[in-house]
Amino acid sequence: MEIAIPLIMGLTLIWLIGRGTPWNAKLMTLVVTLAVIVAILLLERNGFWPDAFRR
């Protein structure tokens, strides 16, 4: 549940923003969003993420 709810919320937000846009713009939005998520996870797991942002 810790991952499912934010994932569903993010995908819903992408869907709402992307209504009426071409499919390639939606695809690029999804790719950029996933890249940001992966970058944050890598920074956090490798110890480069500031302690102030951790729980």
- Structural domain spans, the chain: 4-53
Helix (H, G, I), strand (E, B) or coil at 21: coil
Number of other residues whose CB lies within 10 A of the CB of residue 37: 13
- What are the pLDDT digits (tens) for 4-53? 777 778 888 877 777 787 888 878 878 888 888 888 888 888 888 777 77
Structure tokens at 52: 């102030």
pTM of the model: 0.59
Yes or no: say if 29 and 17 are a contact pair by the CB < 8 Å rule. yes
Question: Which residues, including other chains, have CB under 8 Å from residue 18's CB and lie 6 or more apart?
Answer: 25, 26, 29
